[in-house]
A and B are shown apart, each in its own frame.
Chain A
C-alpha cells in the first residue's frame, strides 16, 4: 500500500474496499457538499469503534447544512477546500490531515473517521474514538482501606487522564509510540522532565523501539520483551492498576509505561524495595506501616522456606529444635505413611492445584475460596491419617504469606523457588536449603532493572543515603524529604524543611 490519496473519490473508495475486503464493519457514508457544484464526499469509519453521535451531529450534519454556503469558495479544488471545511464546517474537536493510505488505514482501525472529498489530494481524519469501556472501577488486585479507588481501564487515553489528574505540572511529559507490527498497540511513556534521569529514559525509549513483534496484547507481554533478564523467575518492573501508584512513582523520578488495552501500567526502574511497597503504606500511619513492612519481609522468608525447613528438620536434623517440639513433631507424624518430603510435595502440589482451580472459578475471590476449601480437604486428610496436621498448618502459612506480598509476580517467583528449595532440602537437608538460598541471593544480586541493581537498597545502592527509610520500614513523611537514590533523579528534594 503506502500509496498516496487519489483525487478521485471513487478510486479512494475502491482502494479502501479492496484493503478492507471482508471487513464488514467498515462503513461508507456518502454525502454531497455544496448546493450548486455538488462535490461528492465520503465518510469512512469502523462501526463500533466510533462515537456515532459525535460524527453525525458535529460532522455530517454540519457538512450537510453548511454546504448551502458560499459556492464560490467550493469551486477551488485544492486542499484549501479541506482547510476551509475543517475550519468552518466541522465541529469535531480533533481534525488532522492525512497524506497517505497507510495513515488512513491506521486511523480507521483506531476508531477515527475519514472524510474523503472528491478532487482533494488529501483527506481529513476526524477524531471520533468511542468504544465500549467498563468505566473507571476499583482495581481488583490492589485494594486499600483508605485512599483513592479509581483504577485503570483498558483505554489508554482514559488511563493517561487519570494520571494527569494527579500531576498538574507541565513537566509531566507523555510520549506515545506504537508497538507491534500488526497490533499497532499504542504505548505511552510518562515521566517528569525535570526529575527523571535522562539515561534511564533513553534506555526505555531505546528498548521500546527495538521491539519487533506481531502483537502486544498486554503490558505483561511488553514487560517480558523489554526487561533485562527474561529468564529469571522474578519481575524486574513494577506493574500496578492504580493511578496513584503511577503518579507517586513519577514523582520519585521513575518512568511509567502505559499500554493500550491493558489496565496494568509498568513502572521502571524497580527494585526489591519497591516491589514490597504498597500504596496503603503511605495512607496509613507510619508505625503500623513499619510493622506491616517488616511483616512482609517475614512473609518472603516464610513463603519460600517454610516447607523446605519442615522437610529438613523432620528428616535430617531433629536435633535442631527444642526437645519438647521434637517429641511433639514425632508424635504428630506417627502413623503417616509417607516420608516428610513426599508429604510436603503432595500437599504443596495440592494447594497449587486448588489455587489454579480457584482462579478458574472467579477472579481473586475464587482463590480464597480455593484455599479455604483446601483447608477442609486438608482436615479430612489429617483425619484419615495421610498427612500430619503440622504439614497442613505449614502449607497454609506458606500460601498466606505469599498473599501478604503486594506484588503478585514476586510471590509467584517465590513459589517456583519454594519447590526448588524443597527439592534441595529433601536431598541435603539444611545444607541444601542454605545452598539454595545462597544461589537465590546471588541471582537477585545479579538482576538489574534498566541499569539499576535490582537488590537495592539492600545491596549497597542507597544504603548510606537512607533509602532503607522507605523500603525496610516506613519513616514518617517528614523524614522523607529527599527522593530515593536509586532513580538518580535530577532534582533531589521533594519537601521543604518546616
Chain B
C-alpha cells in the first residue's frame, strides 16, 4: 500500500511538471534577417523594425508553397519588442538563434546614440550570434528586405551568402557585430558595408564609415578595395590597369600586408603590401608576347604604380577628410607601443591627420595563364 502511494506520487511529479521550454521546431519562426529604420526619435516607438523569416513550407523536397520568405514590419521601441508585437499577427513565436544579417537604415545610422542602443541589445542577448553581419543601407532597410524576396534562393538569404562570398571580390568588406564593437572600442571608427537598392535588385558595395557609431561618410568600391588591401583582407580580386595602349587584367590570388609603425618625433607608418597574382587578360597578337621576364616586370611596375596611387588617395581621404582611423593604427599602437599610446590616445583625433604613410606595393605576376 505504501509502495503504491509512493509510486503514484513519483508518477504524478511527472505530470505536474510542465515542459516549460518545449516548442516544436515547426512551430517556430526563425528570423533570418532584421532591418531597423528610424521612425521618430522623440517618440517611444523610435524604430521601425523589420523581420524576415523563411517559409518552412517552401523548403525541402515536398515544398507546398512558393513564397520563400515573409517580411513583416512594425514600429517598435526596441528590436526584440517588435518580436513581441508580432504575436498579434504572426502565428509562431520568433527564434533569433539563426539570424544572420542586421541592416541599419541610413537615417538610423545618423543617430549615434540610437545605434549604440541597438548594438547593446544585440550584444546582450544570449541568442544572437556575435558573428551576425551588419550592414548599412542607402535609404530604408525595409525596402532592402522587401526587395530581397524576389531574389532569395538560398535558405540563408541572399545577403548573407553574398557577404560570405568575399572570396570573389573586395568591393565591400563584411563586418560582424563583434568586429564592429572591437573596432569601435580600439579606434572609435568602424567600416560597415553598404547595401542599396538598384532598380529591382539589391546591391552590396562600398561602405559606410561610422565614427562613434554614427555615420559620417560613404566610401565607394575603389576605396573599399584599397582598405581591404591594406588590412590584408582581400582574398581575390582583379585589377585592370592601363598598360601601353591596352589594359592588363591582373588577378590577385593572395595579399599580405603589414603595418610597421615607427615613432620618432612623428608617427610614420610603413605599409608594405605584397600581392601575388596571375595575368588574366592582355591583348591577342603575335608580337606582343608576355612570356618574357622583362615584359612581366614592366607590367608589374605599372600595376604597382597604379595601386600605390589608388591606395594613397584613399589614405588621404580617410585621413584628411574623414579623420577616421580605419586601418587600425591606433589599435596597433595600443598593442605594440603601449606606453606611448597611453600618452597620446586622448589626442588621437588631432594626431591621426599628422601620421605619415609610406605605401609600397610589390606585385608579382606569377603565371600568365595558358598562353604566351
Contacts and interface: CB of A to CB of B under 8 A. Distances in A.
Interface in B27-85: 28, 30, 32, 54, 56-57, 59-60, 62-64
A327 interface: yes
A28 interface: no
Given A339-B24, A340-B24, A427-B19, A319 B95 contact: yes
Interface residues of A, number: 25
Given A314-B24, A330-B28, A427-B19, A323 B127 contact: no
Interface string A304-340: 0000000001111011000110111111111010011
Contacts of A319: 95, 97-98, 127
B328 to A, nearest CB: 31
B90 to A, nearest CB: 15
A407 interface: no
A333 B26 contact: yes
Contacts of B22: 315-316, 339, 341, 426, 429
Contact of A327 (B19, B23, B30): B30
Given A314-B25, A315-B25, A323-B156, A328 B19 contact: no
A333 B155 contact: no
Q: Is the interface of B mostly helix, strand, loop or mixed?
A: loop
B97 A318 contact: yes
A336 B60 CA distance: 15
B95 A318 contact: yes
B100 interface: yes
A314 B23 CA distance: 8
A426 B17 CA distance: 11
B266 interface: no
Contacts of A340: 24-25
Contacts of B60: 327-328, 331-332
Contacts of A329: 25
A326 B26 contact: no
Interface string B83-102: 00000000000010110100
Contacts, number: 76
Interface string A282-313: 00000000000000000000000000000001
A328 B63 CA distance: 11
Interface in A400-443: 426-429
A339 B26 CA distance: 10
Contacts of A341: 19, 22
Nearest to A385: B62
Given A331-B60, A426-B19, A326 B100 contact: no
Contacts of A330: 25-26, 28, 30, 56, 59
B286 interface: no
Given A319-B127, A334-B57, A426-B19, A326 B156 contact: no
Given A333-B26, A339-B22, A327 B54 contact: yes
Interface size class of B (residues with CB under 8 A): 20 to 34
B264 interface: no
Contacts of A323: 30, 32, 98, 100, 155-156
Contacts of A339: 22, 24
Contact of A316 (B21, B30, B64): B21
A331 B24 contact: no
Given A323-B98, A427-B17, A334 B24 contact: no
A333 B98 contact: no
Nearest to B100: A323
Contacts of B97: 318-319
A279 B100 CA distance: 52
Contacts of B59: 327-328, 330-331
A187 B121 CA distance: 73
B25 A326 contact: yes
B95 A331 contact: no
B23 A315 contact: yes
Contacts of B100: 323
Interface in A248-284: none
A331 B62 CA distance: 8
Most chain A CB atoms below 10 A, which of B23, B26, B100: B26
Contacts of A313: 25
Nearest to A319: B97
Given A319-B127, A426-B19, A326 B98 contact: yes
B199 to A, nearest CB: 29
B156 to A, nearest CB: 6
A332 B62 CA distance: 8
Nearest to B99: A323
A324 B23 CA distance: 19
A337 to B, nearest CB: 11
Given A326-B30, A340-B24, A331 B56 contact: yes
Contacts of A326: 25, 30, 98
A333 B27 CA distance: 10
Most chain A CB atoms below 10 A, which of B19, B30, B156: B19
Contacts of A316: 21-23
Nearest to B59: A331
B24 A315 contact: yes
A334 to B, nearest CB: 5
Nearest to B98: A323
A291 B244 CA distance: 63
Interface string A328-367: 1111111010011100000000000000000000000000
Given A331-B60, A339-B22, A318 B156 contact: no
A339 B155 CA distance: 24
Nearest to B61: A331
A327 B30 CA distance: 8
Contact of A318 (B25, B54, B155): B25
B160 to A, nearest CB: 9
A313 B24 CA distance: 9
A319 B22 CA distance: 13
Contacts of B30: 318, 323, 326-327, 330
Interface string B162-192: 0000000000000000000000000000000
Contacts of A428: 19
A291 to B, nearest CB: 33
A262 B127 CA distance: 59
B172 to A, nearest CB: 22
B213 to A, nearest CB: 28
A316 B156 CA distance: 22
B98 A334 contact: no
B264 to A, nearest CB: 51
Nearest to B160: A323
Nearest to B23: A315
A195 B21 CA distance: 57
B17 A333 contact: no
B95 A334 contact: no
B99 to A, nearest CB: 10
Contacts of B57: 331, 334
Contacts of B98: 319, 323, 326
Interface of A: 313-316, 318-319, 323-324, 326-334, 336, 339-341, 426-429
Given A316-B22, A334-B56, A427-B14, 20 more contacts: A314-B25, A315-B22, A315-B25, A316-B21, A318-B30, A323-B100, A323-B155, A324-B156, A326-B30, A327-B30, A327-B59, A328-B59, A330-B30, A330-B59, A333-B25, A334-B26, A334-B64, A340-B25, A341-B22, A426-B19
13 contacts: A314-B24, A314-B25, A319-B95, A326-B98, A327-B30, A327-B59, A328-B60, A331-B26, A331-B62, A339-B22, A426-B19, A426-B22, A429-B22
Lowest 8 A-B CB distances belong to which pairs?
Answer: A319-B97, A331-B60, A331-B59, A330-B56, A333-B26, A323-B98, A315-B22, A314-B25
